[in-house]
């Protein structure tokens, strides 16, 4: 068990909080504040318990230079609105300077300030010790609440913990609880659904999950690489050619381990990668050579539904098809709907799956939606995430 903000007596202490405020901006305006609102429970807890709060985050890719279009000023404004009080913001090109140090030192209990974009400095992504020390000097306790960057060993996600004690915020606590429990101690049957385009991107995740799940359902573009490994023709469908043999090995490994690895039985095909293309359903051994598979078919949805309805824990990472196009979104939408009705722990592993669940209106029906695509994948691989490893144990 890792220490959280609840394990600290905050009154009078400065909390240096790493958040994930990497929000989409259009002409300087925030178009989606989900990541800001997700951090609010931790921030509000600290404010209520008398902490002096120093927030920090990156935004976009300024590549180690102070670029005004990547300033966190719009985030400070939104935070002020949400908190109902001013959030101090000093736009320093070096992030930490004398004015920033002075502002942090003079914060009162329950007051909040936000630093400028951490990636204005190259040392952030390189985990430069001097930069980590500068950041750590602004706080008494380091609170990591940015799961989306917890798989990166950066100055603000791991380096600060070399200088001041580290605890987790509520977001990371929730991620570790649900992802950790799903993988290490799931209620069974435990079913994992893996989608997305390439087998190569998810080899390690699949290998790790085969040791833990009862059933593994495959969908998305990667399914065609599995079909190819079985000798089927896949027409113009996406193929992860370097990993065809590996797909065959994974099928064999699943068989040897007594894990049911299920592939789609039918697929929605079209001649072009376009929402305007005419779509037809084919069984996987009948894909025409001039067509490409873009979604799982209705028979596959039925087969997967039968398995999922028996599950007590489900982890889903990666869409079942090109869900961004309405014509090829039905498979992904159907899986989201099935999960929304289950009496089971349903964990959505960030990235496209999270976007899909949100898009189809089922987000509030899931047990947990991860805030970090890459981080949740590495967690599912069984890797130790640097930003979580530095959090002190209870």
Annotated catalytic residue, options 2, 14, 18, 35? 35
- 249 contact partners, CB below 8 Å, separation of at least 6: none
Cα-Cα-Cα-Cα dihedral sign, residues 304, 307, 312, 313: negative
Q: Exactly one of 220, 350, 351, 373 is catalytic; name it.
A: 351
Closest CA to 166 of 7, 388, 391: 391
Write the DSSP assignment of 106-161 as a string of letters: TPPTT-EEE---GGGSTTTTTT-HHHHHHHHTT-SEEEE--GGGTTS--TTTTGGG
Is-catalytic flag, 351? yes
**The two three-digit tokens of residue 296, written as one number:** 């799982």
Q: Give me the sign of the Cα torsion angle 335, 340, 345, 349.
A: positive
Q: Could you tell me if 223 and 264 are in contact, meaning their C-beta atoms sit under 8 angstroms apart?
A: yes
Active site annotation includes 198: yes
Known catalytic residue at 374: yes
Q: How far is it, in rounded angstroms, from Cα 342 to Cα 64?
A: 46
Question: Is 271 among the catalytic positions?
Answer: no
CA-wise closest residue to 362 among 381, 342, 378, 379: 342
Beta carbons of 313 and 186 less than 8 angstroms apart: yes
Of 67, 126, 133, 198, catalytic: 198
User: Which member of 64, 110, 200, 374 is catalytic?
Assistant: 374
CB 170 within 8 A of CB 5: yes
- What positions carry a catalytic annotation? 35, 198, 351, 374
């Amino acid at each position: 068990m890792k220490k959280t903000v609840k394990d600290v007596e905050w009154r009078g202490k400065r909390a240096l909080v790493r958040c994930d405020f990497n929000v989409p901006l259009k002409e300087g305006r925030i178009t989606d504040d989900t990541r800001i609102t997700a951090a609010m429970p931790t921030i509000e807890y600290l404010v209520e318990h008398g902490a002096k709060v120093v927030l920090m985050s990156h935004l976009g890719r300024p590549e180690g230079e102070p670029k005004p279009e990547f300033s966190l000023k719009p985030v400070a404004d939104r935070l002020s609105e949400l908190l109902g009080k001013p959030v101090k913001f000093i736009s320093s090109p070096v992030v930490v300077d004398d004015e920033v140090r002075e502002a942090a030192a003079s914060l009162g209990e329950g007051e909040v300030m936000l630093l400028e974009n951490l990636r204005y400095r190259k040392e952030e992504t390189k985990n430069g010790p001097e930069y980590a020390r500068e950041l750590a000097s602004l706080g008494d306790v380091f609170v990591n609440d940015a799961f989306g960057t917890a798989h990166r060993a950066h100055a603000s996600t791991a380096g600060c913990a070399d200088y001041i004690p580290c605890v987790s915020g509520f977001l990371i606590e929730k991620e570790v609880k649900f992802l950790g429990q799903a993988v290490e101690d799931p209620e069974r049957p435990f079913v994992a659904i893996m989608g997305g385009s390439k087998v190569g991107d998810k080899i390690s995740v699949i290998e790790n999950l085969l040791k833990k799940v009862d059933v593994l359902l495959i969908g998305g573009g990667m399914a065609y690489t599995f079909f190819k490994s079985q000798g089927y023709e896949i027409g113009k469908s996406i193929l992860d050619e370097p990993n065809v043999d590996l797909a065959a090995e994974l099928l064999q490994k699943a068989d040897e381990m007594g894990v049911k690895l299920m592939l789609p039985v039918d697929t929605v095909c079209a001649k072009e990668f376009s929402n305007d293309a005419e779509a037809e359903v084919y069984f996987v051994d009948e894909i025409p050579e001039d067509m490409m598979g873009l979604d799982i078919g209705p028979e596959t949805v039925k087969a997967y539904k039968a398995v999922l309805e028996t599950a007590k824990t489900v982890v889903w990472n990666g869409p079942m098809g090109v869900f961004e196009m309405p014509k090829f979104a039905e498979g992904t939408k159907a899986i989201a709907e099935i999960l929304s009705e289950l009496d089971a722990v349903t964990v959505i592993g960030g990235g496209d799956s999270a976007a899909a669940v949100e898009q189809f209106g089922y987000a509030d029906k899931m047990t947990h939606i991860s805030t970090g695509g890459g981080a949740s994948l590495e967690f599912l691989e069984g890797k130790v995430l640097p930003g979580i490893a530095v959090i002190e144990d209870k």
